[in-house]
């Protein structure tokens, strides 16, 4: 999970994405969340170098936070 990889709490993600705490909770429960909120959460992760693979055997979030030496 991307949130765990960043060591973010639910509140951290809600703040970074400018969504309500319950929106994050609903999203993680796989309940219905607006496309706008989903996009805001994805953008918050991408700003922290989390890369998403949408298709294929590696589908899901992939943490890309390693910095080049």
Query: For residues 38 and 52, is the Cβ–Cβ distance under 8 A?
Result: no
- pLDDT score recorded for residue 8: 95
- Cα distance between residue 55 and residue 21, in whole Å: 28
Q: Is the pLDDT of residue 13 over 80?
A: yes
Mean pLDDT, rounded, for 6-17: 96
- pLDDT score recorded for residue 52: 83
Per the model's pLDDT, the better-predicted residue between 55 and 39 turns out to be 39
HSE-up of 48 (CA within 13 Å, CB side)? 19
- Cα distance between residue 24 and residue 38, in whole Å: 9
> How confident is the model over 40-52, as pLDDT tens digits?
999 999 999 888 8
């Amino acid at each position: 999970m991307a949130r765990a990889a960043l060591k973010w709490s639910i509140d951290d993600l809600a703040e970074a994405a400018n969504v309500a705490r319950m929106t994050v909770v609903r999203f993680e429960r796989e309940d219905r969340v607006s496309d706008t909120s989903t996009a805001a959460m994805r953008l918050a992760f991408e700003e922290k170098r989390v890369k998403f693979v949408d298709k294929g055997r590696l589908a899901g979030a992939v943490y890309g936070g390693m910095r080049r030496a």
